Amino acid sequence: MNAMYVYQTRIRLHDTDAAGVIFFANQFKIIHDAYEGLLETVGFGFAELISHKDFFLPIVHAESDYKMPLSVGDVLEVRVKVEKVGQTSFTLSYALVNARKETVGTGRTVHVTVSKATQKKIPLPADLRAKLEKLHRQDKG
């Protein structure tokens, strides 16, 4: 996977279970952190969305595969790719890679644009669509 956005983190104690390895559900938390970072880089951080935009971007589908254990202190890179840009939604894919460059997990999220006023699906705003499409094209190139 060629990454168009890379988020780096370290596995913390609170990410792990009693066995000292990442608790499987925390993989979604890490993926969401990477998603938030991506939005910030394209000018749509959550502070901006919540305070100044008339739409939300809820996740309507999420999947994640846990491939290898991660332990406290492990450095992790999350490589995020725009997989698809639709009329009202977009899909992101994620590869979680450890310091040895092994893929330890993967994920995918589907986001839909929803009007704050009506709570109904709306077309992706033109400025967001343009940024997502640009990232999608860069990743294919």
For residue 139, pLDDT over 80 is answered with: no
Q: Which two tokens stand for residue 127?
A: 């400025």
| pLDDT at residue 14, rounded to an integer | 92
Would residue 74 show up in a list of annotated catalytic residues for this protein?
Answer: no
Question: Domain spans of the chain?
Answer: 5-140
Among 19-28, 32-41, 93-102, the minimum mean pLDDT is found in 19-28
Supply angle C-alpha 33, 38, 44, rounded to 5: 105
Helix boundaries (H) for 10-53: 26-41, 46-52
| pLDDT at residue 3, rounded to an integer | 53
| pLDDT at residue 62, rounded to an integer | 97
| pLDDT at residue 141, rounded to an integer | 58
For residue 1, pLDDT over 50 is answered with: no
If one compares 129 and 3, the residue with the highest pLDDT of the two is 129
Average pLDDT along the chain: 93
What is the distance between the alpha carbons of residues 30 and 106, in angstroms, rounded to a whole number? 11
Check 17, 33, 54, 127 and give the catalytic one.
17
What is the pLDDT averaged over residues 120-138? 93
What percent of the chain clears pLDDT 70, i.e. is strictly above it? 96
CATH code of the domain made up of 5-140: 3.10.129.10
Long-range own/partner contacts, residues 95-104 (CB < 8 A, 24 or more apart): 95/1, 95/3, 96/27, 96/30, 96/31, 98/68, 98/70, 98/74, 99/74, 99/75, 102/68, 103/67, 103/68, 104/66, 104/67, 104/68, 104/69, 104/70, 104/76
| pLDDT at residue 137, rounded to an integer | 86
User: 112: how many CB neighbours lie within 10 A of its CB?
Assistant: 18
- What pLDDT, in 10s, does the model give residues 44-99? 999 989 999 999 999 999 999 999 999 999 999 999 999 999 999 999 999 999 99
